[in-house]
Amino acid sequence: MKAEDHGGTARQGGSSGPAAEESPGGGRPRRHIRLSSHPGGTAKPVAIDWGAANPKARGPVLGSVRDGTRRNVIGAHAGSYSLYRALAVAAGRLDPVHVPDLTNTAPAEPIGPWPQWAEADRIVSLDPWGHMVSEAFAEEIADGLDIRPTIAVTKAHLTVPEIGSAIAAGRLVPDGEVLTAAGDARVTKIAIEPVWYLPGIAERFGIGEAELRRALFEESGGMYTELVTRPDVKVFLPPVGGITVYGFGDAAAPARAGAAVTCRVHDECNGSDVFGSDICTCRPYLTHGIEECIAAAQGGGTGFVVYNRKEGRALGEVTKFLVYNARKRQPGGDRAETYFERTECVAGVQDMRFQELMPDVLHWLGIRRIERFVSMSDMKRDAIEAQGISIERQVPIPPELVPDDAQVEMTAKRAAGYYSEDGAPSSGDLLERAGRSLTD
Ligand SMILES: [Zn+2]
């Protein structure tokens, strides 16, 4: 790709331009903006050998904007929060040269390394060494490289009303370890930011890397010029939400000792998960998953709830609420028969969660087999099995946990191939399953 082909995009810095100038308000002169949008020049990115067997050979993910010449990624740390950081700098509240003091921030429980980390095509959407940087790259950090963790591992207690109900009903019994006498679940809590290795992402979707980079560039409004001008830079820190893993029991036991795994992979639904909205089954299924994970850990296995920030099937909450209105206002009212159609009318697609990347976190946890997969989703199951992890059993949501207004969603999903012990619904069911109207 010739640099001059992209002269126009390189100048998209707009009013800030590459040269120093007085700020319009007459304040301090703006610093020179160093464009990193073309190979060569002063750029000397630190090498990354994705999938290498140890962190030194792999090389650090260097996303700090402080040292533009050594950076080896496109984008910035912290996903979408990088833009809040920009606001903080612009507003004069954050020193742009602040470097994190990582004292005492190391993982509260060790995770890995596992053999899957060294298989380049297994993990392409997160940095497997992301929680170990302050240890693995201590010398480089001491030498002044601003290498930042993209994963943090801590410990917590979960207090969930539904777990209290499970204890009251006798389904769970506090053991003082996994479940305290007060009814709190002890967990390992892991936050993971996305780190995309672009050749691997492209391969996962069966498309060319150039095609992927061009779409990312264009559909983000030209936000990341280097996607098209720096084909030598292969790692992208996308401004999308990350993953939180809640581990019940010994998080290392499945990889180290082959302990049985119970797992719920849950895609964020703020309305239901947090606020108890009854149009879907998200919170009931999530809390059922937590209950299953606690039982698994008490039985000597390990439970994982993987929580992905992919609101409204990754269409976003505005689109999701527009679809709710369209479903409830359509002639004949909200019904299973037209559930997916209404989404597609508004969004153009039924779903943008792209489960193809979802199994990466399971590889990172060293999982090769899931005994109990707490999900009815055929898309999730197929994606996990396609990445070489076997699933012994899918655990459906108990019927009594499905809210009335969520029967439309449940019936539509079963008709579309969701796993159900009762099989697919009849065409009569599809017509009959009606939800509330907007004004009820
Ligand atoms: Zn939901």
Distance CA 81, CA 73 (A): 17
Average pLDDT over residues 206-216: 98
The SS3 call for residue 98 is coil
Query: How many Å lie between the centroid of ligand 1 and the Cα of residue 408?
Result: 12
Q: Determine phi and psi for 307, rounding to 5 degrees.
A: -110, 110
**DSSP one-letter string for 217-275:** HHHTTS--THHHH-TT--EEE-SS--EEEEEES-TTHHHHH---EEEEEEE--HHHHTT
The dihedral region occupied by 23, where left means phi > 0, alpha psi between -120 and 50, and beta the remainder, is beta
Distance CA 22, CA 25 (A): 8
Q: Say which residues have a Cβ less than 8 Å from residue 192's Cβ, sequence separation at least 6.
A: 126, 130, 150, 151, 242, 243, 244, 245, 361, 364
Query: Among candidates 365, 126, 363, 152, which has minimal Cα distance to 247?
Result: 365
Written as six digits, the tokens of 368 are 């090769």
Written as six digits, the tokens of 333 are 């009212």
Query: How many Å lie between the centroid of ligand 1 and the Cα of residue 276?
Result: 9
Query: How many Å lie between the centroid of ligand 1 and the Cα of residue 269?
Result: 5
Query: How many Å lie between the centroid of ligand 1 and the Cα of residue 271?
Result: 7
What proportion of the chain, given as a percentage, has pLDDT over 90? 71
Query: How many Å lie between the centroid of ligand 1 and the Cα of residue 268?
Result: 8
Please determine, for residue 372, whether its predicted confidence score (pLDDT) is greater than 90: yes
Q: For 284-296, how does the pLDDT look when each residue is reduced to its tens digit (9 = 90+)?
A: 999 999 999 999 9
**DSSP one-letter string for 362-379:** HHHTT--EEEEE----HH
Please name the amino acid found at residue 263. Answer: C
- ∠ Cα 135 136 138 (to 5°): 60
Residues with beta carbon < 5 A to ion ligand 1?
A: 269, 272, 280, 282
Q: Determine phi and psi for 22, rounding to 5 degrees.
A: -70, 140
Query: How many Å lie between the centroid of ligand 1 and the Cα of residue 227?
Result: 34
Distance CA 48, CA 59 (A): 5
353 or 9, greater pLDDT: 353
Residue 34 is predicted with a pLDDT of: 59
Residue 214's CB is within 10 A of a number of other CB atoms, namely: 13
Q: For 379-393, how does the pLDDT look when each residue is reduced to its tens digit (9 = 90+)?
A: 999 999 999 999 999
Distance CA 285, CA 395 (A): 10
Query: How many Å lie between the centroid of ligand 1 and the Cα of residue 42?
Result: 49
* Crossing angle between the packed helical segments 161-168 and 282-298, to the nearest 10 degrees: 60
Strands 73-75 and 235-237: parallel
Q: For 170-190, how does the pLDDT look when each residue is reduced to its tens digit (9 = 90+)?
A: 999 999 999 999 999 999 999
Average pLDDT over residues 47-61: 95
Q: For 299-316, how does the pLDDT look when each residue is reduced to its tens digit (9 = 90+)?
A: 999 999 999 999 999 999
Please determine, for residue 23, whether its predicted confidence score (pLDDT) is greater than 60: no
Give the active site residues.
Answer: 351, 353
> How far out from the chain centre does Cα 231 lie?
25
The SS3 call for residue 17 is coil
Query: How many Å lie between the centroid of ligand 1 and the Cα of residue 235?
Result: 32
The strand ranges marked E within 53-181 are 73-75, 151-158
Output the average pLDDT for the chain. Answer: 89
369 or 312, greater pLDDT: 369
Please determine, for residue 264, whether its predicted confidence score (pLDDT) is greater than 70: yes
Sign of CA dihedral 413, 415, 417, 423: positive
Give the confidence band of 39 by pLDDT, cuts at 50, 70, 90: low
Residue 95 is predicted with a pLDDT of: 94
Q: For 82-122, how does the pLDDT look when each residue is reduced to its tens digit (9 = 90+)?
A: 999 999 999 999 999 899 999 999 999 999 999 999 987 99
What proportion of the chain, given as a percentage, has pLDDT over 70? 90
Query: How many Å lie between the centroid of ligand 1 and the Cα of residue 289?
Result: 15
